[in-house]
Structure 1
């Protein structure tokens, strides 16, 4: 079915643009793209292995103009290492011979010896009538759970059908079906069931043995998604999402946000709820091969409040997942929407957990530095004991995280060029069970410093 969707998109796009009377669709077409440079440094604790890598790549996209409401588009994505120390043999013996967790993601975590990759990331046909648009083929989606998670060289991309409508006043309706992914940090498209665990660690099953839901062991025919967003209340946005992963699990997501400007002051508040439950057999009758344990459920709650003055915004957020079960969502498909999310770590896999985060957003235009902004965050993330596989899938000890994210968007003749510097420091605040012979709960998880320099030129 994955190949059928792509074939349909290509045939439909070819048919759309086949006639000479459609030449205007080509003439009005647009070429766009991005050139990206990425440097990452992964500094693990003490004498544990460190990693670095620099890469260049990007994408080139062409989309036709509209013809009777139809458009067709395609985009080629590519990346290559310039310099790195990533390989299948450069591993840490005290951590079970694991290698880089972060830098390896710049290219292909499935084949650490691969130095470049290229693939067709987008190939679609769309049809728009009034304020309703339908797209079929390979595309780039941005939803709370399934999104680009664009923090490496190439983002996560999806294949399927997607419909968005704003024809109902004050409402945005979205629905779709996904049957394949190009997981970030991999080089191949995979069906939904084969994308589970592809390129990412699978952690522990609640039975305290290594999970094995990857390698095609998860059985599903795809993902069905529906959402409704309501904007009819002044300064307020309410949204509800449902993700049904056939035979595996269901995710219900509610979020509400209030954002109001009072002269130079700004006030915001938000709340969110995530409810999950196993569907079918969680992906497999064998509990060690099931993505979600048989009968497992989880509830996650979040809240945030913030106050801003002129170009500054201070925000406090908190998240809690009850001990009823683990909060789960495949890292292969996107970053999570939790208010306490910080770049370079996830809450996926945690139950009976609590977190809080304070952030300061600053725009420096008032002092004449137009285009310069920053975000500074400090959070504490309290997990169950690292050896408690029932509520701590990845054996991640509680930690504190500090992040400094600085952005500069160039102006004038360099318009389109953007620079980002991201600094992240994670420090353990719970038992890591570290011994001279073992760093399994530290290496790549805690007492680690990450530095990133990203340069993007978009056109």
Structure 2
């Protein structure tokens, strides 16, 4: 057996063994905590800080509860939806033992009230897109048994080096938490972080499983692609790559370098074995101007290339067309003048080919990204977006305005427009308030999104439903402790 075939099996075995050990230790922790609660604390002079008991008793617990109401107002004649979800989760992390710590965390969700999310729009037969993401997109009928083990990992830290193996939450440009519903995306794998110097940070990861946002299961890399709606293939027929892709895993490497006090650069490479490779270079500038102003700027280049057959030797079942490639160019210029932070942003996806990144894995890293829409699946795109943040410190509030124009290929050009979306304009308005005093740890957020067609052209309902000429309303209450 080849080494590349043995590695995933070896890591999977290690993870399985570790998961069982962690479950046993968690049970032990519960019993220890229950027993110790009946006794008075030991005097500091007699406490044994080298014992396993101390490692568990010096651990930390934090929790998160969320109430999320969402509603979508579609174009006239198209079905509207609404839903309210409530959920909560706990995380526990042990104290350190010679640099090693264990972590475990999970979350549950209940459907308090919702439209019939399983019922498609009668005019277009399109399924619900947004509200279903508050629950389990693979089982719309499940309203009260939505839970997931999100974190289960072993971590080692030594000075500026950190290694984490097991289930954890990601923070990478193309694989990230995309926490815009009830729960975030999770990954299962090995992550390494190292800072060899004050201005340099290195990162490497090997991932073998992903649990996408709005799901409860853990999937192999190939299985995780296609859980969300897959759009059209380049030939205009429905994409057929769900459950048809094979990959031994994802390898991510990066270097982040502070070249100058005002200039930083980061280089990322994401290799999805047997499917495609994505490389990104991003440079960002922060230059003080006067006493209170900071000029900001950024440049971004993303290059993608197919690997082998792009996931499947059958062209009708592959994810990335054999020999396919894409190129993305981005730029941003802005000004920070407290309490303001404003920027003008641009993204160009060239005609080389579709930019493809599984929507199950995270949100776009583009400067023009606004919540509730992606530009994955398109080629020959020009996007420009204005963003403004305003902080009201005395009122413990934050305001955000985002407005963008997204010029996409013709809806019937499937080779360049995977999701048959018309060119659109998008407006995002949000407000966040952090409670104080007795309710400290609680915040409330409101997000309003409106998308409409650019230009005067009329489109059939199938090109509008859940895409454009619609508004999306979100009211979110969080409590963290």
For structure 2, the residue ranges without an aligned partner over 5 or more in a row are: 1-8, 30-49
> Do the aligned partners of 1:224 and 1:244 also contact (CA within 8 Å) in 2?
yes
Q: For the structure 1 residues 100 and 5, does the alpha-carbon distance in structure 2 shift closer, same or farther, using more than 3 Å as the test? A: farther
> Do the aligned partners of 1:40 and 1:52 also contact (CA within 8 Å) in 2?
yes
Match of 1:63 among 81, 93, 99: 93
1:6 aligns with 2:15: yes
SS of the equivalent of 1:94 reads coil
1:310 aligns with 2:332: no
Match of 2:471 among 439, 449, 453: 449
**Displacement, 1:265?**
1.3
**Displacement, 1:16?**
8.3
Structure 1's consecutive aligned runs of 4 or more residues displaced over 3 angstroms after TM superposition are 11-20, 430-435
SS of the equivalent of 1:213 reads coil
For 1:18-29, list aligned pairs within 5 A: 21-29=51-59
SS of the equivalent of 1:329 reads coil
> Do the aligned partners of 1:5 and 1:136 also contact (CA within 8 Å) in 2?
no
Mapped partners of 1:118, 1:128: distance in 2 = 30
> Do the aligned partners of 1:40 and 1:452 also contact (CA within 8 Å) in 2?
yes
Residue 245 of structure 2 corresponds to which residue in structure 1?
218
1:120 aligns with 2:149: yes
How many residues end up aligned between the 2 structures? 449
1:404 aligns with 2:429: yes
Residue 5 of structure 2 corresponds to which residue in structure 1?
none
**Displacement, 1:170?**
1.3
1:186 aligns with 2:215: yes
> Do the aligned partners of 1:304 and 1:316 also contact (CA within 8 Å) in 2?
yes
> Do the aligned partners of 1:249 and 1:282 also contact (CA within 8 Å) in 2?
yes
SS of the equivalent of 1:167 reads strand
Q: Decide which moves more: 114-123 or 260-269.
A: 260-269
Mapped partners of 1:115, 1:16: distance in 2 = 31
> Do the aligned partners of 1:58 and 1:154 also contact (CA within 8 Å) in 2?
no
SS of the equivalent of 2:51 reads helix
SS of the equivalent of 1:7 reads helix
> Do the aligned partners of 1:210 and 1:288 also contact (CA within 8 Å) in 2?
no
Residue 35 of structure 2 corresponds to which residue in structure 1?
none
SS of the equivalent of 2:197 reads coil
Q: Can you list the C-alpha shifts for 1:96-149, whole angstroms capped at 9, x where unaligned?
A: x12211011100122211113012111000111111010111000111110100
1:291 aligns with 2:319: yes
Q: For the structure 1 residues 165 and 347, does the alpha-carbon distance in structure 2 shift closer, same or farther, using more than 3 Å as the test? A: same
Residue 260 of structure 1 corresponds to which residue in structure 2?
287
**Displacement, 1:15?**
8.9
Q: Decide which moves more: 73-82 or 336-345.
A: 73-82
For structure 1, the residue ranges without an aligned partner over 5 or more in a row are: none
SS of the equivalent of 2:55 reads helix
Mapped partners of 2:66, 2:12: distance in 1 = 29
For 1:334-413, list aligned pairs within 5 A: 334-365=362-393, 368-369=394-395, 371-413=396-438
SS of the equivalent of 2:302 reads strand
Mapped partners of 1:63, 1:432: distance in 2 = 56
**Displacement, 1:411?**
1.7
SS of the equivalent of 1:93 reads coil
Match of 1:425 among 442, 447, 450: 450
Q: Can you list the C-alpha shifts for 1:340-373, whole angstroms capped at 9, x where unaligned?
A: 00000000001001000011111122xx32x211
Larger Rg: 2
Q: For the structure 1 residues 279 and 433, does the alpha-carbon distance in structure 2 shift closer, same or farther, using more than 3 Å as the test? A: farther
Match of 1:244 among 265, 271, 284: 271
Mapped partners of 1:189, 1:310: distance in 2 = 43
Q: For the structure 1 residues 236 and 415, does the alpha-carbon distance in structure 2 shift closer, same or farther, using more than 3 Å as the test? A: farther
SS of the equivalent of 1:293 reads coil
**Displacement, 1:235?**
2.5
> Do the aligned partners of 1:194 and 1:218 also contact (CA within 8 Å) in 2?
yes
Q: Can you list the C-alpha shifts for 1:216-263, whole angstroms capped at 9, x where unaligned?
A: 201111100000000241032210000000000000011111123331
**Displacement, 1:9?**
2.5
Q: Decide which moves more: 381-390 or 14-23.
A: 14-23
Q: Can you list the C-alpha shifts for 1:139-196, whole angstroms capped at 9, x where unaligned?
A: 0011111010000011100001000111334111000111111111112111111111
**Displacement, 1:308?**
2.7
> Do the aligned partners of 2:274 and 2:310 also contact (CA within 8 Å) in 1?
yes
> Do the aligned partners of 1:5 and 1:160 also contact (CA within 8 Å) in 2?
no
Mapped partners of 2:24, 2:195: distance in 1 = 28
1:94 aligns with 2:123: yes
Mapped partners of 2:12, 2:267: distance in 1 = 31
Residue 182 of structure 2 corresponds to which residue in structure 1?
153
> Do the aligned partners of 1:386 and 1:432 also contact (CA within 8 Å) in 2?
no
What TM-score, normalized by structure 2, do the two folds share? 0.90
Mapped partners of 2:158, 2:25: distance in 1 = 16
What TM-score, normalized by structure 1, do the two folds share? 0.94
Match of 1:165 among 173, 180, 194: 194
